[in-house]
A and B are shown apart, each in its own frame.
Chain A
Amino acid sequence: MEIITTEFFQRALIGGLLIGITAPLMGLFLVLRRLSMIGDTLAHVSIAGVALGFLINVFPIGVGLLFALAASFAIEKLRKAYKTYAELSIAIIMSGGVALASLLFTMGRGFNVNVSSYLFGSIYTLGNEDLLVIAIVTIIVLVAVKIHFKELFLLTFDEDAAAVNGLPVKYFNIMISILTALVISASIKIVGALLVSALLTIPAACSLIIARSFRQTIITVIVIAELAVIAGLVMAGVWNLAPGGTIVMLLICMLILLLLVKRGFKI
């Protein structure tokens, strides 16, 4: 148990708690707009950015963020071109990101980059710099969502209605893309690019089962994600498990449990 008092564990906990707010929050908006796969895609593309960052020796997470931003705009453009096959654009950009990442990582082999720490996360190696980035991202996301809660609700509920009400829909779509890219690049070191999507989508899946109102839904996604982060980190620390994987498995367990409970009540 003494691992919990160590500095690297506490840093991991702080980072995890902050991401536990922002990731499910942005994820909820994506899920409700039927864009669940976007998180995965942006994460894969930002891995390519991280690889490039190592290659040219520039802050990897920062380059990853730029890549994620570029990808989110590309998806938005492609989404318009293939209106009824929106997921096609996501599949194309996701595989493109992975391809680019594998190329760049191979080129940078001499730099001895630890690829798996970005694919599966390495929350125990969070530095002060990383924590600062995560804290800033958290503040930006919370302020933006707080100010525009009403508009984000209407936009998510019915984009056409939002436009007819005179809302600048384009501006809000760009805002959601940027916030999502920010959250994803900040979470990569915590749960890893392969698992970011779980932190975005599973809390939303859980809350859709239990919450009645939109307000409840938002509270539920954050509570569920925080529970998983705290319990997952403690379990991983005590039993020496992979933290990212433990968090995601806990989320899935909660989802299954909720589904079973709901079924039980219905019968």
Chain B
Amino acid sequence: MKKGENAVTIQTAACHRDIVTVENVSFSYEQQQVINGLNFSIKERDFVGLIGSNGAGKTTLLRMIVGLLKPEQGKISLFGEPVSRFKNWERIGYVPQKNSFNPLFPATVREVVLSGLYGRSKLFSRITKAEAAKAEDAMHAMSIEDLAGKRIGQLSGGQQQRVFLAKALINNPALLILDEPTVGIDAETQEGFFHMIRHMHQHHNITFLMVSHDMDWIRSYLGQEPVQMNGKLKFYVKHSHELEDCVENDLTHSLKDLRKSMDRRASFVV
């Protein structure tokens, strides 16, 4: 789908909620200021692409947003609540950098995908059959159901990336955070991956925050110029009102359709 094709009537009714707000946030490593007085917000169904050279603070910012790092100054809110008091982590899908896991780890694809469900609310309860079925749906949506019983380390980089995406999608998240999802993946697989991401952005109720090195794709989808800069960080944004609709979409239902609708686009086959 080319840009502009979907510029029908613009109705932003349900798309004005704040998903992430960053207010006056600063962070430094050993006196080296990386992020300085950053202000920005992500609205529902926005797609934010974050670009910057090594050490620009991309991952630092992501880690602050998901609560793994505390900002030295300023305030970050998720869905209108300060990160430190935020409890609904099921609403956030996080795909960390690929090198953060050990390829020798003895776990199957199914076990990894299912672990996306293991949050605070499930601390003392068992995983029910209905919940386990979500893992099958998520794997199906990512076309990795045939790999379910394989050990994660035996998969190719592109396949592993889709396992992590399935793990992040299993909770039907409203916000998907991706940290350099295509590093170490060949060009063809990368293209399929971006295709899938774009499809999910346009047809599902998901807000995206993605760190990437892929300038070409970011520019082609999010626009030529960054809407904001902070130090060496550049923010590229496709706002939700540029999309054709803003309806609530139930991803649990549409996880099943996701694969179908993508299969129709022949380019997404690995």
Contacts and interface: CB of A to CB of B under 8 A. Distances in A.
Contacts of B121: 166
A153 B115 contact: yes
A25 to B, nearest CB: 14
A126 interface: no
Contacts of B107: 153, 157, 213-214
B67 A164 contact: yes
Interface string B80-114: 00000001011010101000111011111001100
Given A160-B68, A208-B106, A213-B106, A166 B120 contact: yes
A217 interface: yes
Q: How large is the interface on B (under 10, 10 to 19, 20 to 34, 35 or more residues)?
A: 20 to 34
A76 interface: no
A167 B118 contact: yes
Residue of B67, B118, B121 with most chain A CB atoms under a 10 A cut-off: B118
Nearest to A220: B106
Given A212-B106, A214-B108, A161 B94 contact: yes
A207 B115 CA distance: 21
Given A166-B120, A212-B151, A214-B106, A157 B68 contact: no
A151 B100 contact: no
B92 A164 contact: yes
B19 interface: no
Interface stretch (B122-130, B190-198, B224-232, B249-257): B122-130
Nearest to A171: B123
A163 to B, nearest CB: 6
Nearest to B66: A164
A208 B94 CA distance: 27
B63 to A, nearest CB: 8
A212 B118 contact: no
B120 A163 contact: no
Given A153-B115, A158-B101, A167 B120 contact: yes
Given A153-B107, A160-B68, A165 B119 contact: yes
Contacts of A213: 106-108, 111, 149, 151
Interface in A141-170: 147-148, 150-151, 153-154, 156-158, 160-168
Contact of A166 (B101, B119, B149, B150): B119
A160 B123 contact: no
Contact of B87 (A32, A34, A154, A166): A166
Nearest to B108: A213
B122 A163 contact: no
A150 B122 contact: yes
Interface in B50-97: 66-68, 87, 89-90, 92, 94, 96
Residue of B87, B104, B122 with most chain A CB atoms under a 10 A cut-off: B122
B181 interface: no
Contact of B104 (A156, A208, A212, A214): A208
A100 interface: no
Given A147-B124, A165-B119, A216 B66 contact: no
A211 interface: yes
Contact of B118 (A153, A168, A217): A153
Contacts of B89: 164-166
Contacts of B106: 32, 207-208, 211-214, 216-217
Given A164-B68, A211-B106, A215-B111, 10 more contacts: A147-B124, A148-B123, A150-B115, A158-B100, A164-B66, A165-B90, A165-B116, A168-B120, A208-B104, A213-B111
